[in-house]
Amino acid sequence: MLHPYFSFGVPSLLLLLYVAFALFQRSAQIPYLGFGLFIIAGFMTGFSLQVLQLAWNEVAKTSFDQVQETIHYSPYLLLIPFVIGIILMLIHLYQGYQKVRTVRLRTK
């Protein structure tokens, strides 16, 4: 699971899928695509968290340097897709809040 093609490839594919959905959302004006984008960002965050936990578990069993030699990259690099996923999730939570607020103001 710590192989670079897997630990960085899956988040990269999810990010490409996210960009494709975001571009499609701008042209299609489908209201529920924002929720789909939130799900993609959440899956990327969850996957990245699992990979991070595995890396931290390996570091706890052995040492940081030994894990870095084994996987050929710094385990700190695994934070990049995790942080990107959290940022995207927070953006969509805020956008969802804004949509709910505007709907409530319209109904009053």
pTM, two decimal places:
0.84
pLDDT of residue 27: 83
What is the rounded average pLDDT of the residues 14-40? 87
CA 53/CA 16 separation, integer angstroms = 24
Higher pLDDT pick, 16 / 3: 16
Query: Is the pLDDT confidence value at 2 over 80?
Result: no
Bigger pLDDT: 37 vs 32: 37
Per-residue pLDDT for 34 more than 90?
no
Give dist(CA 40, CA 6) in Å, integer.
17
Task: Give dist(CA 83, CA 72) in Å, integer.
Answer: 21
Tokens of 77: 């690099």
* Higher local confidence (pLDDT), 3 or 50: 50
Closest listed residue to residue 81, CA positions, set 1, 3, 2, 14: 14
